[in-house]
Amino acid sequence: MKLPDPVFLMPTNSTNTIPAPLRCLPSFKNPDRISVAMLASIHGHDDIDEFIETECNDSVVMACCRHGCEVEPDGRCEHGCPSPLLALGII
């Protein structure tokens, strides 16, 4: 899966829900949260699937957090940001 270009406005449809392809874009509800795509990019990966395979196969993974928190694969950090696996709905 190719990473999307950075987006600064999150489009919604008429029911005010985020379309499925855009779920990995930044969330403005939590100012500490970053997208899975951004987290992958920070770790030098151009592909989310590659990032998940290489970086998210341990008992502790990076959270989708701008503070660089680490969490369990099914957890959230102290800022409320989920693991990439949780954010993508894999867990």
> What confidence tens digit (pLDDT) does each residue in 46-86 have?
999 999 999 999 999 999 999 999 999 999 999 999 999 99
Specify whether the CB–CB gap between 26 and 34 falls below 8 A.
yes
Cβ neighbours of residue 23 closer than 8 Å, sequence gap 6 or more: 88, 89
SS3 32: coil
| Alpha-carbon 45 to chain mean position | 13
pLDDT in tens, 11-56: 444 554 444 444 455 545 899 999 999 999 999 999 999 999 999 9
Distance separating alpha carbons of residues 56 and 32, to the nearest angstrom: 20
Structure-token pair, residue 52: 């998940």
Hey, what amino acid is at 77? C
